[in-house]
Structure 1
């Protein structure tokens, strides 16, 4: 007798900011958050940081973004900067060269999310779990316009990483070239967060709500096959 497939939770959409002029970015974020589909927001403003007085500018922007996200009940993480995350009372996402998970745990509140970039390396996933990260991020899954030189990972690497995360009760995040059209190729994998930049935030403001609806439809049938 055939058994029904085991259902797994639908992943949350994890939106990352881009380097748009701030007022435009704010309008885009407001539109996306209002759809109710965004489960996590990352503030990542590399070009702003590179400007004169970039740290102060980023802080002022981040204060406004965090306030907006809180209106919609969406948690926030700051890219790479543990000190800023602690100052704002939010979480952090750390690349491999941007501080340790242990440092973040010492400075942030226990409920704050700590993410770790792991590329396609299962050893880094294991290390992130051992250090106490909230999630491990693997990718690039597909070629990405945001990071065109990033190496893509194999499906087997992603499967192995997901299995390791699930076995150790850590969330898995995927990133890199993900769209509402190609995300179905990952259907059934135990993924907690789908990180998206260009497929939503690079669109004009008046197209974002519709694109979020298309994402919602793409995730409707998310299950083990």
Structure 2
């Protein structure tokens, strides 16, 4: 194989839930999952957790979402909660202050996905790899409405992160239009919240299709 023929595979679209009322959220998720373009789904419901008896509410919501995702053969991770992930038989995504990868590996099945937030720190990416995480998440790539105070990282930080031997996820302010700026990097997942989930229900499927078109154009000769 010549150098010119090396192709960078397109990343998978990684959808995160927002804080919509649950019935609306469920319909939006079904519309997105039905397109067949979602490669990974994260359940993150901060406002629900803040409610009285929030843990019970989250369990019931997450159970229904996990069943929906299973029907479309889409793997699921729970944000920050290893015990809930184990109870539901799904994966987990851990922030730096929200549990240890070794504990997740002990409590979850071998095929469950374990993600780790690494911000723009390549040493954290290395640590996630050494601990056995499935992927490391770096960002914010662009200014984000979901986490407006998150520091924006440089392209060089992403390039360095891609060289650490672990699947890399990018997050933060990503849209189907600006993702082209990262084309060619060996990224495994592109994580999206607002650019899909903040749309009206009837526009979700079309936006997923636009994302898929953008990612289909990702692969370029190295």
Regarding TM over 0.5, the answer is yes
Structure 2 counterpart of 1:92: 92
Between the aligned partners of 1:54 and 1:192, the Cα distance in structure 2 is 32
Between the aligned partners of 1:27 and 1:223, the Cα distance in structure 2 is 32
Structure 2 counterpart of 1:154: 154
Structure 2 counterpart of 1:182: 178
CA contact (8 A) 1:6 1:223 kept: no
SS at match of 1:163: coil
Moved over 2 A (4+): 2-5
Between the aligned partners of 2:90 and 2:123, the Cα distance in structure 1 is 27
Deviation (angstroms), 1:3: 5.2
Structure 2 counterpart of 1:142: 142
CA contact (8 A) 1:5 1:223 kept: no
Structure 1 length-normalised TM:
0.96
Deviation (angstroms), 1:6: 1.2
Q: Note the aligned Cα RMSD (angstroms).
A: 1.0
Between the aligned partners of 1:60 and 1:198, the Cα distance in structure 2 is 23
Between the aligned partners of 2:8 and 2:75, the Cα distance in structure 1 is 22
**Size of the alignment, in residue pairs?**
220
SS at match of 1:4: helix
Between the aligned partners of 1:19 and 1:216, the Cα distance in structure 2 is 24
Between the aligned partners of 1:156 and 1:4, the Cα distance in structure 2 is 22
- Could you list the runs of 5+ residues in structure 1 that have no partner in the other structure? none
- Could you list the runs of 5+ residues in structure 2 that have no partner in the other structure? none
